[in-house]
Amino acid sequence: MSAFDFSTLNPRQLEAVRHRDGPLLILAGAGSGKTRVITCRIAWLMSECGVGAESILAVTFTNKAAREMRERVEEMVGKKRCKPMVVATFHSLCVRILREDIEALGYKKNFSIYGAADQTRLIKDLMQQVDIEGRKFDADRVLWAISDAKNRLIPPEQFKVRYHDDYEYMAAAVYPRYQTALKAFNAVDFDDLIMLTARLLQEHPDVLEKYRQRFRYILVDEYQDTNAAQYLLLNLLAGGHRNLCVVGDDDQSIYGWRGADLGNILEFERDFPGTRVVKLEQNYRSTGNILAAANAVIRHNAKRREKALWTADGAGTHIDYLQCADEEDEARAVMERIHGARFRHDLAYSDFAILYRTNVQSRAFEEQLRYENIPYVLIGGQQFFDRKEVKDTVAYLKVLVNHRDEVNLLRILNYPRRGIGETSADRLIRHSAERNVPLWQVLKDPSDIEDLGEKVLEAIARFVEQMERYRMRFNRHGLMVETLREMIAEFGLEEEIYRTVDDPAKARRRVENVEEVASAMASYLEREENPSLAGFLEKVSLLDDDRPGRDSKEKKLARDAVVLMSIHSSKGLEFPHVFLVGMEEGFLPHQKSLSEGIDIDEERRLCYVGITRAQRCLTLSNARRRKKYGEMQARVPSRFLAEIPADLVNAEGDREAPQATEEERDQLASKAFSNIMNILGD
């Protein structure tokens, strides 16, 4: 499609594309072609309205989505013309702004970005300074409380204990120390990227006006997933010209647990009077019966914008419902259907997806898939750049760029072992704290520290000399990959893995992961016009599901294998055949929603997302009983099953459709799931 050929757009899509100025809310139902509308709108603004690419800002939630959006626009109007356009995630947009103007907040421009492991390590160190009745605390839970506060734009001095929980008291004590330490290290965490950018724009009107003038047209994808900090950022940037176009679906808002505010999309017209609202309801993904089921379920939610998905492609087959004896029977029934469908229709394994509410549900299906020699991929788990051996390698690079990054400096100080033990490290740290000088400065001249032996001083001097040498080599910008490989060899990172990992096969896999860092750098160099070590580390810090490595989501989905994943992970994907399993009270809706009295609406939206992943065939299943603590316990069909009209559902054999009343469901759920949270997580 050229920039001027919009003939394949339906009337509502065309209306959204051709909106000129002022606020625009596009309510895009599942499978309604929203990405196409956004990209066509950008192309229309550039080609038909004369808007320069440098004036356009498009914001997404993942690097993959940003990359695909840019590529589509480039196909329409040309790569050269699109070069000045900014298509970015919220975090990478904020990095761009902060790299340019963070000095106004008292930071240096070469700040480090702390990932989860760096944050946890710092929190653990700071918690040692706080004693609450001798209790030990989980650093991740404390960090979550701090992260939640930042996403709600609450700075340390305004943090209030809301639930009188010991973890909140610990967070209240650690949060100010944590922010002070980050600034001392010239570092920020992911939540800071948005919070500090919002603060920068609020406190410095000249900076705000600069970006308002730069970005005259702003487009935001998945607006229903924005939190308070992202909401404020967008309102600030668009507050002058009001040319803000947001695209989203309130029915697919499933991230409330991590701060997403449904009110942002429901109340958009209040925030931007005069908003034009366009509903995209024609679905290009699923059959009519699947859409009818989805519409019937989501209609039970009160807080939503009324819309109903429809398709011009016909009703399709009925939705299948399987009520199985137990989890093993459920897994066998799903395998039978996969075998049958493949034989009858000559399908690939990758045409099938098994979706569940909690990761614990995957076990029975994994075992059955292995037993029947069916290839499968499990989406989820540890990402490439979160692996220890990879983080150790990247830590060296982070210190080369920012010597004040003391979390990573301490990580590599004696790794691999070089004779600077814990006692010596503690003396170095105390000397740094007592004299209020950076640890790196102490390492450069440790001669006046008492009780450091000659061997320790020699080890420190050699470490500093090596780091300074590699810093100079990377600064020359040439042969970066070769320099990295030489650094890995000289510091003995791979040798340390072979020395400390007993299992040779596991050691080889970890060494391959270290080597993959060099491959990632090579890929970065191919894509960037002006590469640098700092730029590579910035990309690493901002990467999401499209990370390199054998476990990346994209590579897994490219295989010919059955896909197992949580419903949360499936958002944005589609499969010809979907099995939505574990449709029971306690799973979907989750027991946490039932036991804590949380609004059930988000669980229903999650069910809606699961249903709308299916293109041709949808199978819903549950079990009459499941094992818990070695004993079989009765299960209750999900209330969402009863919300699907009976004439859309085909129940197989003697597997009866759910008939339990709401009172029976509540009674059984209370009895059967009173302790389920001991074994289940989100």
Helix axis angle for 190-203 and 90-101, nearest 10°, is: 50
Alpha carbon distance 241, 22 (integer Å): 8
Q: Give the helix ranges, DSSP H, for 267-372.
A: 268-271, 288-298, 327-345, 362-371
529 CB-contact burial (10 Å; exposed 0-12 / middle 13-18 / buried 19+): exposed
Name the catalytic one among 15, 35, 466, 574. Answer: 35
Closest CA to 569 of 427, 380, 413, 430: 380
Number of H helices, E strands in the chain: 31, 17
Name the catalytic one among 252, 393, 591, 615. Answer: 252
Closest CA to 221 of 340, 358, 91, 89: 89
The SS3 of residue 204 is coil
> How distant is the alpha carbon of residue 370 from its chain centre?
29
Task: Please give the annotated binding residues, written as ranges.
Answer: 28-35
Name the catalytic one among 74, 222, 538, 551. Answer: 222
- For 607, the enclosing helix (H) or strand (E) is helix 601-611
Task: Please give the annotated binding residues for ATP, written as ranges.
Answer: 28-35
Q: Which residues pair with 542 in a beta bridge?
A: none
Closest CA to 444 of 415, 403, 384: 403
- Assess whether 613 carries a catalytic annotation: yes
- Assess whether 34 carries a catalytic annotation: yes
CA distances for 23 relative to 16, 278, 295, angstroms: 11, 11, 28
- Assess whether 252 carries a catalytic annotation: yes
Alpha carbon distance 99, 72 (integer Å): 28
* Per-residue tokens: 7: 């003939």
What residues have CB less than 8 Å from 185, skipping those under 6 apart? 112, 402, 404, 405, 406, 407
Alpha carbon distance 586, 676 (integer Å): 8
Name the catalytic one among 168, 189, 221, 601. Answer: 221
Cβ-based neighbour number of residue 467 at 10 Å: 20
- Assess whether 8 carries a catalytic annotation: no
**Sheet-wide strand order for 562-566:** 376-378, 562-566, 352-356, 575-580, 614-623, 319-324, 649-651
Name the catalytic one among 12, 13, 34, 72. Answer: 34
- Assess whether 226 carries a catalytic annotation: no
Q: What is the DSSP string of 445-494?
A: --TTSTT--HHHHHHHHHHHHHHHHHHHHHHT-SSHHHHHHHHHHHHTHH
Residue 623 near residue 330, CB atoms below 8 Å: yes
Alpha carbon distance 300, 236 (integer Å): 35
Cβ-based neighbour number of residue 253 at 10 Å: 27
- Assess whether 426 carries a catalytic annotation: no
Residue 567 near residue 362, CB atoms below 8 Å: no
* Per-residue tokens: 302: 């009160």
Provide the annotated active-site residues: 34-35, 221-222, 252, 613
